[in-house]
Chain A
Amino acid sequence: MDKYSVFSARLVEQTEYMASGHRACQGCAEVLALRLVLKALGRDTIVAMSTGCMEIISSPLPLTSWNIPWIHNAFENSSAVVSGCESGMKAMMRKGKLAPKKINFVAMGGDGATADIGMGPLSGALERGHDMIYVCYDNEAYMNTGIQRSSSTPYGASTTTSPAGKASIGQQTRKKNMPQIAVAHNVPYVATACPSFPFDLMEKVKRAAEIPGPAYLHILSVCPTGWRIPPDEAIRYGRLAVDTCMFPLYEVVDGKYRLTYRPNPVLPLKEYLSGQGRYRHLTEKDHEKIESMMKSDYEKIVKLSDEV
């Protein structure tokens, strides 16, 4: 990140592959992540998208926000659809029915479509080794239907199906570690990113597109509606999540870990937790518990990336 200054924003690709007029909430960082991913991938891209926030906001039937080919499919099978697209296009190129060309095949889904419902097809697609990218937009709950908990919701967060109260702390289980599950498939490229670090994100998307074989990208997308924060703080909270080590930015190339951003100084976790409405019921003791969980997760990643 050091080689990029904030002023290189103007060197970024100017073409928009996502049109204005989409129906995302004010301050949605998920649609910002989507926009940056498409900017990095460019024109020759085919996207299959699971049901979720990004699908409903971009395609109310007579209208579409997409300037590239886009397929909507059911909640679970975006990775299966993209596998079929990739194999079909490869066969047609081999038979000479299509001019050979480098095309990016991208499957996209939210955290519900990735960590809960689409887990099986995703695992299958990663195992079969299609030349595709899977992008998971993780906003840490089913925001589209009204903030229900998913397996990606972090410990202690209050959602409508894991409400905080006298007998409950909110979400009682820990966040499912999807990037590690993808790494366990021995895929050539796995990375985590956040739209608050746009150059880091676009760099990772480009690398994922260049590397042959399946790639998995996990993007933390701040959701002001579901996280109960003001819309203008969306970018700031993404930055806080990374700077407090709650969401480490790293990439795994052929099993080798590398932290792409080391927060310096590491901010206290309280700054990230205290401003969000979904964590406002937590006491000092709960903060300490979350911090110890977070530290053990982060130290594992640091240890793995220091080994090589």
Chain B
Amino acid sequence: MAKAMDEIKWQELEIGAVVTEPGNAAEYKTGSWRSERPVVQKEQCIKCGVCWLFCPDMCIIRAVEGHFTANLNYCKGCGICARECPVGCITMISEEG
């Protein structure tokens, strides 16, 4: 786990501020930005993958049964998946209540 920026001393930085671990931004969970979460109706899902293709946060994953669900650790709740779903099986539900 990389330390937060304010915990790193300058001596610990790599020369040229090189980041040596690829893709370590995944440690930062953007799910807390969300105010609405996508909920997938499994029975209606036609497993086309359009939500996966259009997700800007790369948070849609394919479940074992074949339908697609959102990884709520990263989902920012933009609602693109719900808007673009060709059968309308994704609904956005408020995180409150």
Contacts and interface: CB of A to CB of B under 8 A. Distances in A.
Contacts of A65: 23, 25
Nearest to B75: A20
B56 A9 contact: no
A29 B80 CA distance: 10
A232 B83 contact: yes
Contact of B82 (A6, A12, A232): A232
Contacts, number: 122
Interface residues of B, number: 43
A32 B56 contact: yes
Given A61-B19, A64-B23, A235-B83, A21 B78 contact: no
A75 B83 CA distance: 35
Contacts of B26: 19-21
Interface string A11-23: 0100010111111
Contacts of B73: 20
A20 B57 contact: yes
A67 B3 CA distance: 19
B71 interface: yes
Contact of A21 (B49, B74, B77): B74
A28 B79 CA distance: 11
29 contacts: A6-B86, A9-B50, A19-B22, A19-B24, A20-B30, A20-B73, A20-B74, A21-B27, A21-B30, A22-B25, A22-B30, A22-B57, A24-B56, A24-B57, A26-B76, A32-B55, A61-B8, A61-B17, A61-B19, A62-B5, A62-B24, A63-B27, A64-B25, A224-B78, A230-B79, A231-B78, A234-B78, A235-B84, A236-B83
Interface of B: 2-5, 8, 17, 19, 21-30, 33, 47-50, 52-59, 71, 73-74, 76-80, 82-84, 86, 92
Given A21-B29, A23-B28, A28-B78, 4 more contacts: A9-B48, A62-B24, A64-B21, A231-B80
